[in-house]
Amino acid sequence: MKNFRILICSVLMVFSLGILKAERPNILFVTVDDMNCDSVGVFGSKLEGTTPNMDAFAKQGLRFKYAHVQVGNCMPGRNVMFSGLFSHNNRMEGFYEISDPDYPHISDLMKEGGYLSIIFGKVAHSSPNTPWNWSLNLDVIDGEKLHIKDPNSYYRATRRGIAESKKAGKRFFLNVNISDPHKPFYGMTSRQQLKDDPYKPSKMFTREEMPVPGFLFDDPQVRFELAYYYMSVRRADDCFGEVLRALEESGQSQNTLVMFLSDHGMPLPFAKTALWHHSTHTPWMVRWPGNTQPNSIDDQHMISAVDLMPTLLEAAEIQTDTKFDGRSFLPLLHGKTQNNRSYIIKEYNENVAGGRHPMRGVQTKEYLYLFNPWSDGTNKFKTATKGTLTYVRMNEIAQTDPVMEERLRFFNHRVIEELYDIRTDPDCLNNLANHPDYRDQMDFSRATLKKWMVKSKDHALEALENLKDPESMYAYVARYQKEAYARIEARKAALINRLR
């Protein structure tokens, strides 16, 4: 009889463990804003002590060596993540809203699947239209607007979000978007002036310690700006630590899939608002107890932001008839392999002011190909990084230094095609597009890009097909620029009418 009771208890224990293992997870998706992949310790930071919390998290789960976002600017990039569609298909090519999205947002499907859908930070940039479709927005708690540079805000928001899901009797899909290291950096105003900042990072850095990225140049002013960037990275890490602390204290960590990445590269020239390697390479990490292996690295597959939504939906066991441009990489979280993950596609269209500078990219583990149909030698690229101290210093040095003059010219005007060997040149300094030894690689890259453009119905196919006809290619760019400016004027007129 005693043995029978033991057998029954054992069967019940195995059965209950099976239920727990099969239980749908809570999902905590955390982003940081404007952080280079190689600013993270485990992803190769040359500065000691930048990201202790991120490094500890990496050892608890899986990290991807070849992970990228689609584009190096915020609102278009985040809407790729939350639609599973490339920008030309979700119509969020710039910084504006659309009134009639004909596709579901991740929040819609999570709610339909029984989740409480919660967000803190970057709310306006994470949705295609208003009213926002989240179950709960934690930017304001109990009448108090949380400060986006305060690590404690992230603890409070995470704690409240988890508590609200428990109160509702639902699992949570909680998206926490950490503001740092987006400008203004720690201790600086939006006009690059020093100020007293009550939200100090847990570690301070000096300009003398700074590792200068290969795509920039060594100069006291650059080092000064980098020091404040890295202190902001450290504060972002502090915020991430507070998010994880709130999760741990809730008792939900063992049944929560935590996913972490940066929305794009650092807010300095040759990183943010572009498609170069450091513009899109992201420190993508996942911890899912019982699924991901601790301290594991995927160094075989390439994943990108367009794959995020189908992956999280599959992890949540939410089925949908929605057709995505991306595809789930859930098998990779279980240590399995997937075919057809040897390259990713990048897409840039428009900046925050409506400036159209369409760019497309194909990146493999070895090479990065870029197509810039707007580059005509006179059209000047518009980017937020031109407001940085580093860009100002570039202009000053270029007045007397021919090398810097050429580097500045390239940054402002680009060339129509670029090709880089990422293995030896991740900083994208040596353009191989016209090198005779790389003709086969150029042919492969163009063919791969064209195949994707046809399949995804990318309007920029018109430009690629007119690669040898610059007049027609530039006409395509001019037409879309005219449409962008018309959209902006219509939005201004609508706003004026509402104010009357």
Bridge pairing between strands 140-141 and 144-145: antiparallel
State yes or no: cis peptide before 310, omega within 30 of 0: no
Reply yes or no on whether the pLDDT at 288 is more than 70.
yes
Question: What's the CA gap between 282 and 323, in Å, rounded?
Answer: 25
Say if residues 86 and 80 touch (Cβ distance below 8 Å): yes
Q: What is the pLDDT of residue 13?
A: 40
Say if residues 82 and 107 touch (Cβ distance below 8 Å): yes
Please check whether the domain covering 348-488 is classified as CATH 3.40.50.300. no
Q: Which amino acid is at 75?
A: M
Q: What is the mean pLDDT of residues 82-89?
A: 97
H or E element, residue 349? strand 343-350
Question: What's the CA gap between 95 and 81, in Å, rounded?
Answer: 15
Summarize pLDDT for 391-403 with one digit per residue, the tens: 999 999 999 999 9
Query: DSSP state, 332?
Result: H
The structure's pTM equals 0.94
Say if residues 224 and 395 touch (Cβ distance below 8 Å): no
pLDDT averaged over every residue in the chain: 94
Summarize pLDDT for 322-361 with one digit per residue, the tens: 999 999 999 999 999 999 999 999 999 999 888 999 999 9
Q: What is the pLDDT of residue 38?
A: 98
Q: Kindly report the CATH class assigned to 23-336.
A: alpha beta
pLDDT category, 22, cuts 50, 70, 90? low
Say if residues 45 and 58 touch (Cβ distance below 8 Å): no
Reply yes or no on whether the pLDDT at 491 is more than 70.
yes
CA dihedral for 9, 12, 18, 20, sign (positive or negative):
negative
Question: What's the CA gap between 2 and 157, in Å, rounded?
Answer: 50
Say if residues 373 and 357 touch (Cβ distance below 8 Å): no
Bridge partners (DSSP) of residue 239 are none
pLDDT category, 11, cuts 50, 70, 90? very low
Summarize pLDDT for 124-183 with one digit per residue, the tens: 999 898 888 899 999 999 999 999 999 999 999 999 999 999 999 999 999 999 999 999
Q: What is the pLDDT of residue 156?
A: 98
Q: What is the pLDDT of residue 8?
A: 38
pLDDT category, 6, cuts 50, 70, 90? very low
Reply yes or no on whether the pLDDT at 241 is more than 50.
yes
Q: Where are the domains of the chain?
A: 23-336, 348-488
Q: How far apart are the first and last CA of the chain?
A: 85
